[in-house]
Structure 1
Amino acid sequence: MADAHTNRTDRFRAEAASQGLPPEEVEEWIRALRPAVYLAEGGDGPLVARIGGDPRLPEGVPRPSEPFVAAVDLAALPPGATGLPLPADGHLLLFSGTEVRGPGRQEPDAVLYVPAGTPTLPSPSGDGAREPYLPRELRTVWHQPSAPMPESFALDRWGDFPEDEQSELAEELDDAWTRTGGGHRPPWTLQLGGRPVSPQNDPVHDARTPGDTDDWVLLATWRCGDDVTELDSGVAHWVIRHRDAAAGRFDRVHRYVEMA
């Protein structure tokens, strides 16, 4: 993995140099990369995540207010591949509806952590609730560096109002990264860690309030797929402060839902 990352960044440096891009900004782009894991259907590997259906919850834990999205087996992830301070085992349960949701709202039951060995029971949805999402098994895993969206890079690098030339440079860096294979993301259903891919706005940026210096990170993104007819190319994001993830405070997650 380290060799693959070095080869990718070396190709990017060479491509950027051939385009005459400033070396200091090339290195800033590389520093902005974050490790990410992508999960997809297919393959014959171990079950890493289960999408849809009904969740299994510890006895006495009330079912969250939004529909169940996924249960991720943290022990099945490559160690350190998400770049997040997650528990080494147990299951991370994600919940989200399909109503478009913008920034600035904490969702105490959007993510639940179930420690390994905890007895659980199926928790069917009640009368009048939305039908469960289509059940799917995710057994295919990729892990690779994830680059910021150009708009996000420009905001992080030059502040809230980057000049046109700076925004154009961010686009050129993104193009160079893509041309050398760095921008390729395999077909995926669930992303853990890394940088957001968003049809609208960066949810990590949107979680920040004025003067907020906390290190917000992407916990997960779900590409809803064609079976979620309420959304056109819909995605749900869960973002969290790095320190809250390290402390297991998943009740402090912010959730966003958007569509193209």
Structure 2
Amino acid sequence: MARARMLLVEDEPMLRRFVRLALEELPLEILECDSVADAINLLTANTVQLIVTDLMLPGASGVDLLRHLQTFPDLRGQAKVVVFSAGLTPATRLALAPLQVWRMLEKPVSIGILEQCVHDALADARAQTTPTPRAPPTATGTAVDQFFGGDAELFHLYRATCLVQFPHDLAAGDHAIDTRDTQALRRVAHSLKTVLLTIDLPQLAARAGALEQTCHAAQQDAAERDWEPLRAALAEFIKNQAFTHI
């Protein structure tokens, strides 16, 4: 029989990579897209058993996708929906309640918790028994233990992916500053906040979180001030990592 199929709606390449790494041991086909429009196209052409979506996406949001699925239930079929977001405030959780969300996962999430969530969602859909998922690790203060189940090789593989992506994030942030596009800068900060915490850079993650809040308040001048130290620190980190591999 065919493997179970999951749709991942996430605009951040590094987080899509994280999900693929987390779920690679499951008998699962993952369809990926970075927008609501592409998600609808994929759902029109494919039957899936699980939909995992971010809320903050370019253009239409994850909430817009959930509302569309309510309006056109045949598009969703029997798929369970998981919201995977760093913005799950109490107000957001309340707003999602009537939208048939099966589970909510707060970014950043450990590999164990993500794998267990998918295992639970697909338990009735899979035709064969899946490997026992890793138990969610106890937080020990290190990203390797907290998010990667103690798998240092997996952690370094993911961090290498992030190092390739970071220069593109810096360029996107600079462009947002040049064009005074606070919402675009907010999306960059939102993504960096989660990724930096996942690769054990909590201080930089905190700076990105502060920048996200400044952008959310539409404080352009303050956002420009907050971007510069974050940009400099991230550029320095990239430079130092390059030197360690010479």
Structure with more helix by fraction: 2
TM-score by length of 1: 0.22
Q: Which has the higher contact order (CA 8 A, sep 6+)?
A: 1
TM-score by length of 2: 0.23
